[in-house]
Structure 1
Amino acid sequence: MALKNDLILRAARGEKTERTPVWLMRQAGRILPEYRAVRNSLSGFIELVTTPELAAEVTIQPVDILGVDAAIIFSDILVIPEAMGLPYEMVEKKGPFFPETIKTAEDVAKLKVADVASDLGYVLEAIKITKKELNNRVPLIGFAGAPFTIFCYMIEGSGSKTFSKARRMLYQAPELAHQLLQKITDSTIAYLKAQITAGADLIQVFDSWAGILPPTQYESFSVPYMKQICDAITEVPKTLFAKGAYFSRHSLAALDCNAIGLDWNMDIAESRKLCAGKTLQGNLDPCALYASDSEIVKATKSMLDLFGFEKHIANLGHGVYPDINPEKVKVFIETVKEYSSNK
């Protein structure tokens, strides 16, 4: 059965749309009281991720409550290292933590390429439930972390301002780094393909820590693995988002992807030139949603004017922050819908 609202898929493919589609990174989560009610009934974040019925419920909440044009499956990029044999914990108010990290060639050798059906079946089940419950209202976005970002966590063991342990390996043991990146890439490709089989209509690859690398290293340690993913995924549109890596836009746009995500520091006109022919996604500053309603309307209209009204998926330049009022998010979403409908 055809989707009732396929705006995001058409925009990603570069087709004309009646208005600009809109969704938000991290929309399924902490800003919504309805999400917190589900989350607080459980032992922790990981229990929510691994319980398909509840993951599906919080995936759909933003469609019902905020009126976004797509759902994105509620999960975490770190399910991949766990499926490869490196489990993680989610520490309240601190973020992810890996009790064991990758230090040596022996550590890399011990990792397996993820068996998606057995190791990540809970995500696939959540996708199937979500698709059924959405009843073709809007598309469902699947996602994974980019290999370099996953690599950072597997070596560092947690979030970091510098990821100096992970970056040290690039200088001291580049061959070992490439071996680990390849294993992550193989796991990620299998995972994304399984998400598509389960029902994902579009996939996004998040390179959250792309901006910590110098351009030459990004070309060596990220772009080739992003290329493998893009070349392997042919069934649905693909969006690449490399936060902070303003230097990467041209290289990523040369890959077989449909859309390039922009963070709020990336100039829109410059990005149009660097990513010629691609759909762009973004890129309102998430902090703009702390402003008054009238200022949010003004900033959103300005952003839409700069992008133009073709080949654009409206979003923030990063995930919505947890203390932002959902009513402010609704102002952003409604402004995108109303203003772009009149163009």
Structure 2
Amino acid sequence: MSLKCGQLLAIIFSGGVLGAITLSLSSVTIPEIELVPDRLTGYPTWHGVYQGFDRQKNDSMITFASAFMLVVGMIGLKLVLNPPTKTSFITRFYTVSDDPDDNNKESISGVPTTGFNRSLVIYTFATFVTAIAALLFDIGKLWSVIAVSHNTLELTTLLLIGSGGRIKNVSYFVWMFIYIISVGGICVFNDFPIDALFFKIQGLSMDYALVIEFVRVYITTKKHLQDAGNETLPLNSEEIHDNNTRKLLPTTFNHPRHIIFLILASSAHAIGNLLSTIYASSAKTTLIFEICYAIAFPLYILFVYVDTQTTSIIPQKRIYLPYTPTWKVIVISINSLALALLTVRLSFDATTK
């Protein structure tokens, strides 16, 4: 009973914080912005003139980040199209359950990370297309119907973590269809600033949720590997010997440190989005956000590389996914939305100064 009370209190507290931030937004006067037309169609974008804006610098940075994403995406594609077959190279997801009587076969045998790695590669390509669209159309209504693919892959990643690393039924495709139609419809049928604010808030929510979930995955995996202790015997000298002829990276990696790449990648993207939102009129923060793309997605593919091409000092590479009951999903969702709204709230304060 006390646990249920604690769950209820967590939901109520998170809801209270969200309500307070929402109320603070209701008192904000949205400043008048003279929207800049995009260069290809002349349609209004979602921003005014940036302070210190240099189109050549902006185009160069987007091109640089896009080229990076394309190259690492091709590398990632090669990796996931040829997944490892040796047991020592295969990483498996294990969902941590609070139910001692859980006889789920997947929680016992594990789920290979193949599908998760593929989603990261598709995520990279979707973001590459989104960046090219920004280069052509600029950030606006027309761009949003393409950029929703980027957010869809973020949502897919969150769902994979929550479902044990595997899409288990066709309801996933139904929900993705509903999400895409909903976001696209709201952005298309609403005028500025509602369309821009909605897209920004839902995008920030995804970014923050990814950071939270990757941190939870790392902590859970680290804890369970430490608790296993003597149950995970070290590899013998022949298995641990590194015969790597490639000098770039070793074939033996200190598992599960490669999960840190996911945390760093999602954090870089979230920080870039946060800065470009709070200081929305600054050309410098826009460039920083674009640089973050060139940092985040190579890190995602680096995770895929280490996950598929290296062994571990323990017999089997495992990633433990945290148990996430409905009440935790609600709390994480509310907190992610609250952080997104707070970011937007801070952007109004920065704009009026």
TM-score bucket (shorter structure):
under 0.3
Which TM-score applies when normalising by structure 1? 0.23
Structure holding more strand per residue: 1
Structure holding more helix per residue: 2
Which TM-score applies when normalising by structure 2? 0.22
Structure number with the bigger relative contact order (C-alpha 8 A, sep ≥ 6) is 2
